[in-house]
Amino acid sequence: MSLSHAEWVDALRDGDLLGVRCPDCGTIYGTPFAVCNECGSQDVETTELPTAGEVYTETTVEVSPVGFEAPYQVGIVQLDGARVTGRLTGEVGIGDRVVLDGVLEANDEVAPVFTAE
């Protein structure tokens, strides 16, 4: 069964990270996907992701879009086989260990917040 965006958001609000896993090739995604990008399988399954990982890449936004206050840091966090984009808080850089520390809700968008472990 495919993971919907609403299910992903509800889990995030409860402190859980969900993703999808392709049982055919083993690829894991950190957000809802209906079809595996690697092999084309439509049999992707919902999977629970770890809430701790390593910063894969990061940047600081100095000029923010309307509704956000700059500066703030965003990044991609490697969680075992999946990568998740989220807000980073504290002094974190590439390679640092981080843990899920909440959810950011702004402008009808929801994103995970990670902080130094």
pLDDT in tens, 73-103: 999 999 988 999 999 999 899 999 999 999 9
CA separation for the pair 81, 67 (Å, rounded): 33
Maximum alpha-carbon separation in the chain: 43
Between strands 82-89 and 109-116, the pairing is parallel
- Judge whether residue 53 has pLDDT over 70: yes
Q: Rounded CA gap, 75 and 2, in Å?
A: 25
Mean pLDDT of all residues in 8-30: 95
CA geometry: angle at 104 spanning 103 and 108, to 5°? Answer: 120
What pLDDT sits at residue 65?
A: 83
User: SS3 of 8, please?
Assistant: helix
